[in-house]
Structure 1
């Protein structure tokens, strides 16, 4: 099982591919944006005072 951080790194790596269609690139960028937002939310929740 991959962690959220691993997933983000894999998506970033996929974006460096020259063999992506415009549609594929947009899908990966959308997934990356969502994953980064989830990561920021989780990081914020962890650092919130109790």
Structure 2
């Protein structure tokens, strides 16, 4: 199982590919944006005192 951090790194690596169509690039960018937002939310939940 990959962690969210690993998933973000894989998406970033995919974006460096020259063989992506515009559609594929937009999809990867959307996934990356969602994953980063999820990671930020998880980080915020861990640092917020109860």
TM range (shorter): over 0.9
User: What residue number does 2:40 align with?
Assistant: 40
- How many residues align? The count is 50
Deviation at 1:3, TM superposition (A): 0.1
Alignment RMSD: 0.3
Return the TM-score normalized by structure 2.
Answer: 0.98
Q: TM-score, normalised by structure 1?
A: 0.98
Structure 1 gaps of 5+ residues are: none
1:39 Cα deviation from its structure 2 partner = 0.3
Consecutive unaligned residues in structure 2, runs of 5 or more = none
Aligned equivalents of 1:46 and 1:4: distance in 2? 15
Q: Which runs of 4+ in 1 moved over 4 A?
A: none
